Structure 1
Amino acid sequence: MAIGGPNGGDGGDDLEMPGGIFADINITPLTDIFLVLLIIFMVTTTAIAEAGRDEGGFKVNLPKGGKGETSAVARDVTVAVLADGRAVVGGKVQDDAELRRAFTEARERSPETVVLFQADEGVPHGRVVQVMELARAAGLSRLAIATRAEQ
């Protein structure tokens, strides 16, 4: 569609008007910008969501229980024990030697550090006790177990 032909009028057919101004809007660059922004938002929100979780994105199905009176403090350590028995601290899966080192570092920062255990319902009780004993052997005596509130 041409606007404003040389005679000042409509100008008739577009083929007759080689010098007309086209008013078509090309939305391809706009679409490209929106797709790039969508990808950027998807990547950044995923990174932000993963960084904000203590267990590093691991799903732990906590058992139900009553509410306690504990509140998380910045110096506390959260240990997630997954259904297959792996232990996660700070978003990283750790073996027993790394757990001992993490507990020792936590005790050196503050002897009053609370270790919060988030154990999946399917984890054998012995594995949870084994991880708790690693914390006690490192000198941490304030241990807590996380549960879901009953609904």
Structure 2
Amino acid sequence: MGASIKSKKNKFNSGIAPDINITPFVDILLVLLIVFMVATPAIVSGLTINLPKAKQTSEIKLENKNITVTIDAKKILYINDKFVSQDDFVNTIKSQSNPNPESNVIFLRGDKNLAYSDIMGLVNLLATNDYTNIVLVTEDV
């Protein structure tokens, strides 16, 4: 008279439980993580210079407009990682900074193979144009 419930249950239950194998998914995620870990330092350091090392360093948190000036071993100047000629250096600094030079902070990155006079020449050039907030960037020892 009635249908057997057991037969319907067996019809849909073949004994194999469906599940998702997440091992390939985890493998792909780990490979992507490694790729990003390797690529990130290359993206951050656009210019390669050898900074001098210092034992005592401190972090500076400033709210003013910050400008990074880099001079490499060949005495080539960069402002915020963009090449600038020595003739246009002061004009480029003025165009990228606040109208009041004293409110700007200049982060000076100089290659450790440069002569001290080259760094001081750049500091003096900035100081004669009223840029007196100059921070020398070094690496931790």
Same fold (TM over 0.5): yes
Task: Select which of 68, 86, 89 maps to 2:76.
Answer: 86
Whether the 8 Å contact between 1:61 and 1:121 is mirrored in structure 2 is: yes
Aligned amino acid, residue 58 of structure 1: L
Task: Select which of 58, 69, 86 maps to 1:68.
Answer: 58
Q: Residues 77 and 130 of structure 1: is their aligned pair in 2 closer, same or farther, counting only changes over 3 Å? A: same
Deviations 1:6-35 (A, max 9, x none): xxxxxxxxxxxxxxxxxxxxxxxxxxxxxx
4+ residue segments displaced more than 6 Å: none
Tell me how far 1:110 sits from its aligned partner.
5.5
Provide the C-alpha distance between the structure 1 equivalents of 2:137 and 2:63, rounded to a whole number of angstroms.
Answer: 14
Paired position in structure 1 for 2:24? none
Q: Residues 72 and 139 of structure 1: is their aligned pair in 2 closer, same or farther, counting only changes over 3 Å? A: same
Whether the 8 Å contact between 2:64 and 2:105 is mirrored in structure 1 is: no
How many aligned positions are there?
102
Could you tell me which runs of 5 or more consecutive residues in structure 1 were left unpaired when the two chains were aligned: 1-44
Q: Residues 144 and 101 of structure 1: is their aligned pair in 2 closer, same or farther, counting only changes over 3 Å? A: same
Tell me how far 1:138 sits from its aligned partner.
1.7
Provide the C-alpha distance between the structure 2 equivalents of 1:96 and 1:76, rounded to a whole number of angstroms.
Answer: 20
Provide the C-alpha distance between the structure 1 equivalents of 2:129 and 2:86, rounded to a whole number of angstroms.
Answer: 12
Tell me how far 1:127 sits from its aligned partner.
1.2
Aligned amino acid, residue 76 of structure 2: R
Which secondary structure does the structure 2 equivalent of 1:108 belong to? coil
Paired position in structure 2 for 1:103? 93
Task: Trace 1:24-35 onto structure 2 (pairs within 5 A).
Answer: none
- The percentage of counterpart residues that share the same residue type is 15
Tell me how far 1:96 sits from its aligned partner.
2.1
Range moving further from structure 2, 129-138 or 106-115: 106-115
Could you tell me which runs of 5 or more consecutive residues in structure 2 were left unpaired when the two chains were aligned: 1-38
Paired position in structure 1 for 2:47? 58
Tell me how far 1:69 sits from its aligned partner.
3.8
Q: Which has the higher contact order (CA 8 A, sep 6+)?
A: 2
Which secondary structure does the structure 2 equivalent of 1:132 belong to? helix
TM-score, structure 1 normalization? 0.57
TM-score, structure 2 normalization? 0.61
